Chains A and B, each alone.
Chain A
């Protein structure tokens, strides 16, 4: 049964009438046209669909839309502040931390969440924190470097 679900999407209040079990990824991509959130595996194994819910990374392919009621959802599109890149976005660019770019939004948002908990991480902590986000091109080395350089830039401030 459809119900009205309201939440904050990239800082703005939104409402949608939808079946509560619909997965957030499809609502974001199709209903809101926010295609930066990618489908990669559909079963939460790869992290391409990662979004931020109340400050922390969630796999939107597994998240029912009813579970974001009244919550703050941030997608990759919401990380850009006007024309200003988020330090993580800038660090990914500066470190060439991507190739095909398909896993990149999920990587950046997972790193965003990770840095929330670990503002000054070691390389080993970054590896552990990013472990379940998959990249096939092999950009791992530069992603780690990007996350570390962003952490220095951000100094714990998101």
Chain B
């Protein structure tokens, strides 16, 4: 044991993005054994160019603490927003460090306690971070074994560990628990020995079903979300919002609002807010503010947006190609030139963006519903001109994110208002604000020119995607001549592109790209007169994809069906975050009303090692159910820069009556690394339903969502 050497000294020697101070960390974590984990080279998995330019940190991303009670606490910058990592990450750690799952605690998204993390998105938590956490857990176990060997004076090779107890395999009475080692309060070091993670036959908690660890709090109302943080003297702020984006406030009269008892009004050049100890009183006082805005000419709306987007499209970037497009054309008997579209789609988490900020002197603490607590920290530090080390972001439970809680406007608003008024301030957006300030999934266009031989062999694939981004754009069929060109991989778009903010939405890019690709494949199969499953199998050589498709076909009972009966069968397949996913659906389409009823969906995934099969199944079911929205009803209405859908009366998200019979199958692939789980299932839904509608009606839908009006319109054109 190296006495008097504190592990936190080693922490601050590392490249310190976080500007951790030894004092604050020790104070906050108390005694016990502290192990820092060097989780290096986390790849950057995002299409956001700004993020790609951002250099990835190579320092540690997690700490482990072994408490004097033997409990293992993992401190990570990841957050829990429903995807279940509070359970699955703990399972991975419990297994590798050899304690029971109930003895692992997760401290998540607290920027003072947890090391820097880029954010929670892109199905990365299990796939990338989890894999590294396992290595770190294995290393921690080995370190504990070394400390135990010294304590027990038994050679390491004679020791075993079971559920947090290190014992001599030759004499089980010679033992010491992690708790006892922690009570010695010797905190230091990291093993220099080689360590390896467990193999499937050694798993105790990995690849097993455990119930959600946050369920008790969530079913009893005890779970705290940001809006549930109530501080003494806290004021609720309601902020004046314009009727449309980019309009100018010409006149404002707050006198009547000022008369409301107990109200405080803050008027800055760029923010006007009404604060009160009751949110409802603040809201009603806000409605008493009289305003006049300028009236800019309306140029864009949800009808002409695609034309505009094509006009302002930047140059394309070839992200994949092989063979020669000309040769592909020459070798094709039938050429297909098609364009696919999708509308803007809202994230619409049930919890609107919320933050509670408390500024005290030159320090601020903010409780925030965010997927990016560390980005929020930087933003608050900038906005308040505070030192970053004086800004603490705490992330309580997040009520859904789906990519929409990566921007932190409300966090900065709460922090600024708290600084101005000197009291804690809660900013909880209304549903209207949530829609208005959403960073929508971008409207997008995909143009495909493809060709097949007489025998149905795909010889040409010229794929051009505008605004959706690169993810999911690369085709995986056996096509000799192909190219994929991405026009604007920046989901936020440069100025003048979109009328409001846009950004990543659950499986960014992949929903649009899968809709276009799998619709086009289906289109070609129909022309070739080949069953769409058979057509895909003929043009595939990737055995993993063939396996998921065949498994889905068996489970679904796939058969060739003539088109036009009103009942339709469709399929779609994709590779997303390494996961292979094949889906099949049966729908009924009412020709008169254009209404689609999805009867059943089968989804098969090969997602590598599954940490919690039940948890993964929930993500698949969730992806399927949520996906029905962007497929059938979710498309934002807007006029100029005014968002017209501001609540669920006009913006329709999936409901109970929509729910099809869902069957999920996860293929056993324990020897592979864990792959993405939160996103793959959703990407198929657009094409899946479109292809089933085609089979039902003989009508191909080229735009999402496929609303009854659009289906009727398409039927008329036939």
Contacts and interface: CB of A to CB of B under 8 A. Distances in A.
Interface of A: 22-23, 26, 29-30, 33-43, 45-46, 48, 75-77, 79-80, 85, 89-90, 92-94, 96, 98-105, 108, 126-128, 130-144
Interface in B597-632: 614-615, 618, 621-626
B614 A96 contact: yes
A87 B93 CA distance: 32
Contacts of B648: 41, 43, 45-46, 134
A34 to B, nearest CB: 7
A102 B80 CA distance: 12
29 contacts: A23-B280, A26-B278, A36-B221, A37-B221, A38-B351, A40-B351, A43-B431, A77-B220, A77-B221, A93-B219, A96-B215, A98-B82, A98-B215, A98-B219, A100-B82, A100-B398, A101-B219, A101-B397, A103-B350, A108-B219, A133-B656, A134-B350, A134-B648, A134-B653, A136-B402, A137-B400, A138-B624, A139-B622, A142-B621
B621 A138 contact: yes
B582 to A, nearest CB: 19
A141 B227 CA distance: 28
A114 B618 CA distance: 25
B618 A139 contact: yes
B348 interface: yes
Nearest to B660: A141
Given A104-B219, A108-B219, A128 B657 contact: yes
B214 to A, nearest CB: 7
Contact of A96 (B211, B230, B399, B624): B211
Given A85-B219, A99-B83, A104-B219, A141 B662 contact: yes
A80 B712 CA distance: 50
Contacts of B431: 40-43, 46
Contacts of B400: 99-100, 102, 136-137
Nearest to A19: B281
A102 B657 contact: no
**Residue from B220, B350, B432, B618 whose CB has the most chain A CB atoms within 10 Å:** B350
Contacts of A43: 431, 647-649
Contacts of B225: 38, 102
Nearest to A75: B221
Given A30-B278, A135-B350, A105 B221 contact: yes
Interface string B326-358: 000000000000000000000011111000000
Contacts of A103: 350
B228 interface: yes
A30 B230 contact: yes
A43 B400 CA distance: 20
B657 A142 contact: no
Interface residues of B, number: 59
Contacts of A108: 219
A94 B211 contact: yes
Contacts of A131: 655-657
Contacts of A100: 81-82, 349-351, 397-400
B215 A136 contact: no
Contacts of A144: 656, 659
B449 interface: no
Contacts of A127: 656-657, 659
A102 B399 contact: yes
A11 to B, nearest CB: 15
B430 A42 contact: yes
B681 to A, nearest CB: 9
A101 B349 CA distance: 11
A88 to B, nearest CB: 8
B267 interface: no
A30 B228 CA distance: 9
Interface in B677-712: none
B654 interface: yes
Contact of A89 (B219, B430, B657): B219
A36 to B, nearest CB: 2
Nearest to A23: B280
B219 A34 contact: no
A36 B228 CA distance: 8
